[in-house]
Amino acid sequence: MGPRVRPRWFVPYVFLLPVGIFLALVFGYSLVAVVIQSLRVPGILGVTNWGLGNYHGIFGDPLFWRSLGDNLKLFLVIPVMTVVGLLMAVLLYERTKGWRIYRSLAFLPYILSVPVIGVVFSYILELNGVLNQVLDSLHLHFLVHDWLGNPNLALWSIAFIIAWQQTGLAIVLFLARLASVDEQLYEAAMIDRANWWKRFWHITLPQLARVIEFFVVISLINMLSWVFSYVYVMTGGGPEQKTYVTELYIYEDAFRNGLSNLASAASVVLLLVAAALLFVQAIARKGVDRIEV
Amino acid sequence: MSKVTSESVREDLTGLSRRGFLRLSGVAGASAAAASLLASCSSSGSSGSSGGKVNLLVWYWGEQEAPGMQNFMKKAVARYNSQQSKVTVTAVLQSSDSLYSAFATAAQAGKGPDIQYLWGGTQALGDVWLGYCAPLSDYIDASWLRENIPQAALAQTNWGGKQWGMPFYQIGTAFPYNKKMFADAKLNPDEPPVTWDDYTTALSKLKKIGVSPIGAGFKDQYLGGWLASYFGQQNFDTIEDAIAPFRGSVKYEGPKYTEWINQVQGLVKSGFFNDDVQSINLYQGQNLFTARKAAIVTSVQPQITSFYRTMGGNDTVGVMRSPAFGTGKFANSFGAPAQVLLLTKFSPHKEEAANFLKFLHTPAMMHLMYQESGAICPDNKFDTSWFDTETDKTMWHWQQTLPNFWYQYYYPLPFETNGVDPGLQQLWQPNGSVTAAVASMQGAINKWGEQTPEQLSAYKTWKPLPG
The C-alpha of B157 sits at a distance from chain A's nearest C-alpha, in angstroms, of 15
Q: Is the pLDDT confidence value at B1 over 50?
A: no
Q: Is the pLDDT confidence value at A4 over 70?
A: no
**CA distances in angstroms from B2 to A1, A293, B5, B8, B9, listed in the order given:** 11, 52, 9, 10, 12
What pLDDT is attached to residue A260? Answer: 87
- A62-292 belongs to which CATH class? mainly alpha
| Nearest alpha-carbon partner for B136 in B115, B152, B118 | B115
| Inter-residue contact A41 to A53 (CB < 8 Å) | yes
State whether B278 and A46 contact (CB < 8 Å): no
Residue A256's closest chain B neighbor by CA?
B413
C-alpha B416/C-alpha B422 separation (Å) is: 9
Classify each residue of A109-147 as buried b or exposed e, where b means 16 or more C-beta atoms within 10 Å of its C-beta.
beeeebeebbeebbebbbbebebbeeeeeeeeeeeebbb
| DSSP-assigned letter for residue A202 | I
Residue A154's closest chain B neighbor by CA?
B279
B9 confidence band (pLDDT: 50, 70, 90): very low
Q: Quick: pLDDT tens for A165-210.
A: 999 999 999 999 998 888 898 899 989 998 988 988 999 999 999 8
The C-alpha of A179 sits at a distance from chain B's nearest C-alpha, in angstroms, of 35
Taking the model in full, what pTM does it have?
0.84
Mean pLDDT of chain B: 89
State whether A259 and B37 contact (CB < 8 Å): no
Residues 6+ apart with CB under 8 A from B238: B329, B464, B466, B467
What pLDDT is attached to residue A267? Answer: 95
Domain ranges of chain A: 62-292
Q: Quick: pLDDT tens for B405-459.
A: 999 999 999 999 999 999 999 999 999 999 999 999 999 999 999 999 989 999 9
State whether B218 and A239 contact (CB < 8 Å): yes
What pLDDT is attached to residue B65? Answer: 84
Q: To 5 degrees, how large is the angle CA A43–CA A31–CA B41?
A: 85
C-alpha B423/C-alpha A9 separation (Å) is: 64
B14 confidence band (pLDDT: 50, 70, 90): very low
Q: Quick: pLDDT tens for B58-95.
A: 999 999 888 899 999 999 999 999 999 899 999 999 99
Q: How many residues does chain A have?
A: 293
Q: Quick: pLDDT tens for B368-383.
A: 999 999 899 999 999 9
Contacts of B422 in chain A (CB under 8 A): 238-241
Q: To 5 degrees, how large is the angle CA A203–CA A206–CA A211?
A: 125
**Average of pLDDT values for B107-133?**
94
Q: Which domains does chain B have, with CATH numbers?
A: 48-171+336-386 (3.40.190.10), 178-333+409-460 (3.40.190.10)
| Nearest alpha-carbon partner for B440 in B429, B426, B461 | B426
> Does ipTM top 0.85?
no
The C-alpha of A120 sits at a distance from chain B's nearest C-alpha, in angstroms, of 13
